[in-house]
Amino acid sequence: MTKRAKMNKREFLKTAGMTTASAVAATTLSAPYVKAQGTIKWRLQTYAGPALAENVIKPSIDAFNKVANGEMVIELYTSDQLVPTGELFRAMQKGTIDAVQSDDDSIAAPVDVSVFGGYFPFGLRYSLDVPVLFNQYGLNEIWEEAYGEIDGVTWLSAGSWDPCNFATVKPIRSVADLKGLRVFTFPTAGRFLRRFGVVPVTLPWEDVEVAIQTGELDGITWSGITEDYTVGWADVTKYYLTNNISGAWIGSYFANSDRWNELPERLKTLFKVTMDSSHYHRQYWYWWGEAFYRTTGSKLELTSIPTEEWKKVEDEAFKFWDEIAEQTPRTARVVKILKDYTATMQKAGPPYRYG
């Protein structure tokens, strides 16, 4: 079968799937929002596909629904199920959906700090850096300030996910090997990686695996190794680069402001508690998985770029930081915090920073 024939088949299957999904979404979304007189019902969409959602959000939503005891029910939808990820912010702002779990970058949040959501190059070394920066270094207040300037959406909480590594069909052993690689990645990460010849590709999450198989993609720079194994990407790639461009992903919870403000305080508190539960679950699940799959996984061969050579990429990231700092006074504040934090961690030494 020729590649063109493969593509036609894929396009047919994708079109058929989209038709079915559109019909379901239209049925689900056509009814206007009506304030509940009995059970409060929310629709929350996550950035994650079904297999990943089982760990990054579903346990906390199940717990919320159980404890809410019929007073409120949150219906959970996975990546692109109701709304394309890139349109999530506007859909939530309009009240088409009630809440979102994603990074600011992927949902095109119209705030200057959105560039730091997802994977900000070399901004973080470990997953614990995220809650420390938000709770101890003032990022909570900066995010609240930024979203307070936008009508219709309330930012609720940020937490950490996994690091950002390359999983590819061909090995990467030098910075030169990055040139020409077509990878699925996040907007800001892709913008940075272009400096090394990487070609960022935007696709619906569910199409990534097929795109690697058909040769449209050379791999992904979207996650750590835990997700590669969990969602099936390890089945269609061959190599995993141990050097990462960020030690953790920053993701957040958001809600339509009207829906959030209508909740009684006890349900707001319950939702906050379950968000914290989700943040905690991811801390240990990813920390376990990144080591487990590197040492016991048999699907991906590990490769590395020498530390001295990789430092060129890290040094370029700090130039990128300075460019971001020039965008607005608020992005300058965030970059200063990241620089101060990095300096503190390096001065503290092991186990905070090595080398």
The predicted pLDDT at position 37 comes to 62
DSSP letters along 290-317, please?
Answer: HHHHHHH--SSEEE---HHHHHHHHHHH
Q: Given this chain, do its domains 24-160+249-289 and 164-247+296-348 carry the same CATH topology?
A: yes
Please state which CATH class domain 24-160+249-289 belongs to.
alpha beta
The predicted pLDDT at position 354 comes to 86
Alpha-carbon distance of 197 to 112, in angstroms, equals: 26
Q: Per-domain residue ranges for the chain?
A: 24-160+249-289, 164-247+296-348
Predicted TM-score (pTM) of the model is: 0.88
In the predicted model, residues of the chain with pLDDT beneath 50 are 1-28, 30-36
CATH tag, 164-247+296-348: 3.40.190.170
Alpha helices in the chain (DSSP H): 3-30, 50-56, 58-68, 88-94, 129-136, 139-148, 187-193, 208-213, 225-231, 257-262, 265-296, 307-325, 329-348
Q: Hey, what amino acid is at 188?
A: T
Alpha-carbon distance of 63 to 190, in angstroms, equals: 36
